[in-house]
Structure 1
Amino acid sequence: MSVAVLIPCHNEEKTVFRVVSDFRKYLPGAIVYVYDNNSTDNTVGRALEAGAVVRHESILGKGNVVRRMFADIDADFYVLVDGDATYDAASAIEMLALASNNCLDMVNGARVSTIKAAYRPGHVLGNRIFTLLVTVVFGKRISDILSGYRVFSRRFVKSFPALSRGFETETEFTIHALDLRMPIGEIQTPYCERPAGSESKLNTWKDGFRIILLIFNLIKLERPLAFFSTVSVALICLSLLVGTPVIMDWIHTGLVPRFPSALLAVGFVILSALSFTCGLILDVVYLARTETKRLAYLTQPAPTSYDAKCFATTSILTSKVDTSQQPLYKDRC
């Protein structure tokens, strides 16, 4: 069995050596790939020094790098991790064991940190809001939809459309898995502060807006009947709000003095009917699209068990991290 560690990087000179070295230490049987995304510093040189296979993607954006990595690399399991040295490489052993032993297509690394600088309160709040939105529509199976630390099977990677361009690709991973009802799992993993001199590429407001826009678009695409029915109900409510005074005047006087309001109310009713009709039509299209994605997913072989000792330095693997031992998390960071 083969394991590929995939590390997308843009100007990560300060951290990439440590990330590559850690994953080569804990997964010595895996091949570590660093995909340079137009870095202007010595990211490539440091990655080569650490022993990584370095490749390049010229189109800027994490989503674009993920699309290229998933298309280029062939392996039984893929470990995707950011190159900023905030994730714990040792957790990859447990994530791979969980994926392999249970034939899972995705294992999510849910971030746990007691360091405020590592996981800022604003990011925590945003993550909870986005997770709630996804949970309401697609179901609750993952607690951290924005984690950049995941293990994928070949079946997931080769059936994933990878349409996103930037950091919203993590949300796309989650919704793709939930929508196809794939077997997935999650473990908690330490999340650390970036080393001194390393700067985050995540823009809280800009990327947050992109993520919520992606969620909105995916709800429209993956749940069209619910989406357009909601719009239809909203339009009906507006119609009643505008048209009720007109109807009351007609009942009492037999006249329609507010003719523009009457036309507006009728317009809202027509739009409501059109919206509901669009939802019915697109729901049939969605069913056909889902069948196609499911068939593409089934063309790939199912995940199988492997001898984890070939890839890990430890001989005993567990499927869970003990979150009660906070000193352990601090030591790993």
Structure 2
Amino acid sequence: MAVLIPCYNEEVSVGATVEMFRSAIPSAKIYVYDNNSVDNTREVAAAAGAVVKQESRQGKGNVVRRMFADVDADVYVLVDGDATYDAEAAPRLIKRLIDEELDFLNVARASEEIEAYRRGHRLGNRILSGLVESIFGRQFRDMLSGYKVFSRRFVKSFPAMSRGFEIETELTVHALELRMPCAEEVAAYRERAAGSTSKLSTYRDGFRILLLIATLVKNEHPLQFFGAVGFGLIISAVLLSVPLVETYIETGLVPRIPTAVLVVGMVIVGLLSWFAGLILDVIATARQEAKRLAYLSFVPVWKKR
């Protein structure tokens, strides 16, 4: 069992995070991966009893990729090092993962403190979680939570392509696309310690997450993505062609040749986009089958009992 804590400039809270999880789950090995901190994060984490490692490529996604590659365990607890998440809930979360034979357990934040979970972050989280639900199915109330529990076969089959905070979205979509057994549990979320600041930017990281969602739709559902593009082009071409058709019926002439050429071009590109989506959909299905086989190649902890 392993607790994975990604950190960047968290010297005021990382020690408390390590101590809380050591107390909550004494049998777990705690890893702190520092991401180019310029304060004493590494020293504080080591003094608290964590195994400290470093990832030089900046961004939470890069850190998670390194963690998942380096650490071997049957159950993984991923949690931010800002001491805001409820460590006492960890034994309950792990027990549920094993008892219900889950591969992914998301921990939704419950907090009445405005400063702990700002309104802008709440709204953005709600919108992005709803968007993922509408595209990939199944609702997670708090997709962007930094507190999650995984099985070994989830971790070792996860490609981890994101670089920054959009990694939370990629984790969720990976579980949904492979139709893994997953669930969500609520746990307390508290305000950050004095001197600790959030690294998440509501607008910048929100935009990155939107781009990731679009990329994931393109990669995982190419027929849906390119079909929508093609449909939009064809509908636009039809609308542009209405005045041309009316003029032709009245006069027998097509005076606006550039518009006519544009309309024909848009229809051709729209049809090509649809056929490209059809071909890529076959490739995406093969990729999903390969990922599914990789996922099934690992034995989960509940089958070792």
- Cross-structure match for 1:61: 59
CA distance in 1, matches of 2:213, 2:40: 35
Alignment partner, residue 243 of structure 1: 241
Matches for 1:98-137 after TM superposition, within 5 Å: 98-137=96-135
Question: What is the number of equivalent residue pairs in this alignment?
Answer: 305
What root-mean-square deviation, in Å, do the aligned CA atoms of Structure 1 and Structure 2 show? 1.1
How do 1:67-216 and structure 2 match up within 5 A?
67-216=65-214
Q: Which amino acid in structure 1 is aligned with residue 116 of structure 2? A: A
1:77·1:152 contact (CA, 8 Å) conserved in 2? yes
Of 6-15 and 132-141, the range deviating more from structure 2: 132-141
Structure number with higher relative contact order (C-alpha < 8 Å, ≥ 6 residues apart):
1
Cα distance in 1 between the residues matched to 2:223 and 2:289: 17
In structure 1, how many angstroms separate the alpha carbons of the residues matched to 2:290 and 2:206?
30
Cα displacement string for residues 186-207 of structure 1 (whole angstroms, at most 9, x for unaligned residues)? 1001111111111111122111
Which residue is 1:39 aligned to? 37
- 1:201 and 1:134 map into 2 onto residues whose CA distance is 23
Shift of residue 95 of structure 1? 1.0
1:283 is the counterpart of 2:304: no
Cα-to-partner distance string for 1:247-267 (whole Å, 9 max, x where unaligned): 111112111111111111111
TM-superposition CA deviations, 1:288-322 (whole Å, max 9, x none): 10011011111111331789xxxxxxxxxxxxxxx
Query: Is the counterpart of residue 228 in structure 1 residue 226 in structure 2?
Result: yes
3-state SS of 1:304 partner: helix
| Contact residue 147 and residue 170 of structure 1 kept, 8 A | yes
Report the TM-score, using the length of structure 1 for normalisation: 0.90
Between the aligned partners of 1:110 and 1:166, the Cα distance in structure 2 is 20
Distance 2:223 2:301 in 1: 33
> What TM-score results when the alignment is normalised by the length of structure 2?
0.98
The answer (yes or no) to whether the contact 2:74–2:300 under 8 Å persists in 1 is no
My pick for the range that moved more, 297-306 or 164-173, is: 297-306
- Aligned amino acid, residue 185 of structure 1: A
Unaligned runs of 5+ in 1: 308-333
Structure 1's consecutive aligned runs of 4 or more residues displaced over 3 angstroms after TM superposition are none
